[in-house]
Amino acid sequence: MQQPNEDRFRHRDLNWLSFNDRVLQEAADKINPLYERMKFLAIFSSNLDEYFRVRVSQLRQMKRVKKSIRKKLALRPSKITKQIIEKVKKQQDRFGEIYHNEIIPELAENGIHILDAEHFKPAQKEFVSSFFHNKVEKHLKPIMLNLNKENELFLENSILYFLVTFEKEDKLAVVNIPVNECGRFVMMEGIKGKHNITFLDEIIRYEAYKIFPENNITGIFEIKLSRDAELYIDDIYEGVLAEKIYESLKQRTDGQPTRLLYDASMPKEVQKKIRKLLKLGKIDMMPGGKYHNFKDFFSFPDPTDNPELHYKNLPPLPHKTLDKSNDYFEDIKKKDQALHFPYMSFGYVEKFLEQAAKDDQVTDISISLYRVADESKLTSFLLEALERGKRVTVFVEAKARFDEKNNIIWGRKFEEKGANVIYSYPKVKVHSKIMLICRQEGDVNMRYAYIGTGNFNSETAKLYCDHAIFTANKYITKELQRLFKVLEGELIIPREKNLLISPFSTRQEFLKLIYNEIENAREGKKARITAKMNSLEDEEMIELLYKASDAGVKIRLLIRGFTCLIPGITGMSENIYITSVVDRFLEHGRIYVFENSGEELMFYGSADWMNRNLDRRIEVISPVLDEDIKQEFKNILNIQLNDNVKARIQDASEANNYVQKKKGEKAIRSQYEIYNYLKEKHSS
């Protein structure tokens, strides 16, 4: 939570809001096609929902921790929560401006009109009544509340409701908006070239008098409640302090409310009534617009089929070796092979596993699954491997936030088919993206490994920018095999020399690498650190980066999400420069480069420089040993570092200013430049 020195460390939760600001910038950026800008509004909304469920929930829970413990941990949850609410309100105002003043008019320019109930024409009113009667009414669950009596009102997490007021002020009603059953958007009839769309909300609003026929309605206000997710104290505090915090919170109710988003036009006296009914504090009340759950805009229909309103298609690029390969094992044995998603297809990973499942020489398959897709070729091939009698070990992360249920279901499916399934340890998550294949080739038991930065998920691989390498390197594969034995309980530590494995060696090795750059700088040698990651939080790493900056080490960071490091401060971090790229795809890869006095060392893998990734998760960071792949990674990283279209400067002001293209300089939109670079390289 709150760092002890605000002059040296940003608060992670406040800086995360700066990341969501960058998402909002994308919604306003007219470089992006109209429907893609709407998706960025949806991403912003979805991000904020999870943020309140997890991060704000944790702050709220900390308010209940004993003061003595809060003081020891330098916690100030009330202060931070107030700052969050203030910043979120400003963001939501900006959100409303973008939606009403930019998106709606541009939709109209393209013949797409979003209608509200007040503007339904006679023919549309007939359609609305029919649609309501045939498709909506049966899914409604209205609740009448008599305010003169005790009421038990439970609103489900992130479900939309209408709060209805009547002439009789001692009555209120709540009715659900059944988006899951009916969809959020409804197409209506329009003249040629003009397309009318309405919210499901507006259909229910128009027909509300049928739901409450014996009461005169005076107001209808949309509301949405966010409830907390599981409390992940161990992500931040460990040992005795974590136990003390849990003791303080043992009376806590799971899924307690963290935010009520309500229509800002709701009268204050009605706000008080719903607040009392839901047992909320003032700080839990968040005014918003007429509509909530803008994440539903992911599914906003395009009746025009106009390609100009969407991103141009970028077909997956063929890998110059794997695309023509009839034997992955032979090609990987000759040379390491790298993949870059979403520029290349996840199908290469699936094909590798398919070959392993069907190959009679393959004896063992081991894999770690952090987020398991509902159905995928990858899971099908694992099941096929079991049917063919291979030993399959699957490490399933049972605590992957919001994916627990699906992961456990798949774990049981694998168990039923005979797999050795291992679930996460009580206080350690397995976040690494690793696979190991053992193959009997004559008298030799060969090992083939896959190490990546992204999940084994074909859907997210279309959206997340990640890197992966197939290798048969005997040192890397041996250490990976030892790690799987640790996960299976056969070994206590993996004893690695090449891989960096959390929580065993990652922190220590990264510290050594940074200290090496400090020493080189002091000796007048080349000294530079270049790192790309999702988030930077760990105080020990940050303090050492400050020390390196002070010693003259040039530090260039590319951080998509939040950072607790404050760059560009004289006498502390003047040699540290940070940018963030937010664009069409989600930057998710981690690459670390150390100058090492001209003998560059490069690493990639699943770990950010966060406490949890270094100390409380199983993570794998691998050196990039193949010189060709190292250059490929370096070229990709350099393209991103030189982005002057979608890169924002992360400085002390947190203004999220775009990197400005210099006069005469080429415009570099890194994700498109990387696509073109890989296209040229892998077609040659």
DSSP 657-669: PBPPPPTTPPP--
387 lies in some domain: yes
Active-site residue, selected from the candidate residues 11, 195, 431, 682: 431
Q: Last residue of some domain: 475, 495, 515?
A: 495
Beta bridge partners of 604: 591, 622
Same domain for 430 and 507, yes or no, is: no
Examine the pLDDT at 459 and tell me if it is beyond 80: yes
**100/109 Cα distance (integer angstroms):** 14
464 is in an annotated binding site: yes
Residue 657 annotated in ligand binding? no
Last residue of a domain, one of 301, 333, 357: 301
Same domain, yes or no: 564 and 539: yes
Q: What residues make up the domain containing 23?
A: 12-301
Q: Where are the alpha helices (DSSP H) in 281-403?
A: 328-334, 347-358, 377-387
* C-alpha dist (Å) from residue 85 to 63, 256, 282, 507: 16, 18, 11, 34
pLDDT band at 409 (very low <50, low <70, confident <90, very high): confident
**Domain membership flag for residue 4:** no
Q: Return d(Cα 628, Cα 546) in angstroms, integer.
A: 33
| Cβ neighbours of residue 666 closer than 8 Å, sequence gap 6 or more | none
Distant-in-sequence, close-in-space partners of 87: CB < 8 Å, separation ≥ 6: 14, 17
Residue range 413-441: mean pLDDT, rounded? 86
Task: Write the DSSP symbol of residue 308.
Answer: G
**C-alpha to C-alpha distance for 394 and 316, rounded to whole angstroms:** 29
Q: Is residue 572 part of a domain?
A: yes
pLDDT in tens, 343-398: 999 999 999 999 999 999 999 999 998 776 667 899 899 999 999 999 999 988 76
Is 138 in the same domain as 49?
A: yes
The answer to whether 12 is a known ligand-binding residue is no
Does the annotation place 37 within a ligand binding site? no
Residues 293 and 335 in one domain: no
Residue 245 has a pLDDT of 42
pLDDT per position as a tens digit, 92-125: 999 999 999 999 999 999 999 999 999 999 989 9
Are residues 217 and 270 in contact, defined by beta-carbon separation less than 8 angstroms? no
Assess contact for 579 and 649: CB atoms under 8 A. yes
| Confidence label for 429 from pLDDT (cuts 50, 70 and 90) | confident
Structural domain total, the chain: 3
- Kindly state whether residues 271 and 331 are assigned to the same domain: no
Q: Is residue 643 part of a domain?
A: yes
pLDDT at 536: 98
Q: Are residues 466 and 555 in the same domain?
A: no
In a domain, 234, yes or no: yes
Q: Based on the domain organization, do 520 and 476 belong to the same domain?
A: no
CATH number, domain of 126, equals 3.30.1840.10
Q: Is the separation of the CB atoms in 572 and 549 below 8 Å?
A: yes
Cα 502 to chain centroid, rounded:
21
Q: Rounded CA gap, 479 and 335, in Å?
A: 19
Phi–psi pair at 330, nearest 5 degrees: -65, -45
Annotated binding residue 495 = no
- The closest of 71, 508, 44 to 288, measured between CA atoms, is 44
Residue 348 contacts residue 408 (beta carbons within 8 Å)? no
pLDDT of res. 76? 66
Residues 637, 592: contact at Cβ < 8 Å?
Answer: no
The whole-number pLDDT of residue 404 equals: 59
**Whether residue 339 is found in the same domain as residue 213:** no
Report the C-alpha gap between 79 and 431 in whole angstroms.
32
Domain ends where: 237, 266, 301? 301
Task: State the chain's mean pLDDT as an integer.
Answer: 90
Q: Check if 431 is active-site.
A: yes
For the record, the structure tokens of 632 come out as 């490929």
Residues 483 and 620 sit within 8 Å (Cβ to Cβ): yes
Kindly state whether residues 275 and 357 are assigned to the same domain.
no
433: in domain: yes
pLDDT per residue as tens digits for the range 225-284? 988 765 444 444 444 444 444 454 444 445 677 789 999 999 999 999 999 999 888 888
pLDDT of residue 283: 81
Note whether 135 and 26 are same-domain residues.
yes
Within a domain: 314? no
Nearest of 390, 384, 378, 386 to residue 350 by alpha carbon: 378
Token reading at 609: 């420089």
Distant-in-sequence, close-in-space partners of 641: CB < 8 Å, separation ≥ 6 = 530, 556, 558, 579
Q: How far apart are CA 157 and CA 224, in angstroms?
A: 8
Query: What's the DSSP call for residue 117?
Result: G
Find out whether the peptide bond into 342 is cis, omega within 30 degrees of 0: yes
pTM above 0.75?
yes
Task: Let me know: does 277 contact 151? Beta carbons within 8 Å.
Answer: yes
Do 53 and 160 lie in one domain? The reply is yes
Query: Is residue 6, in this structure, part of any structural domain at all?
Result: no
397 and 369 in contact (C-beta within 8 Å)? yes
Q: What is the pLDDT of residues 611-636, one digit of tens each?
A: 999 998 999 999 999 999 999 999 99
The CATH number that applies at residue 329 is: 3.30.870.10
347 and 363 share one domain: yes
Three-state secondary structure call for residue 268: helix
What was the pLDDT predicted at 292?
A: 92
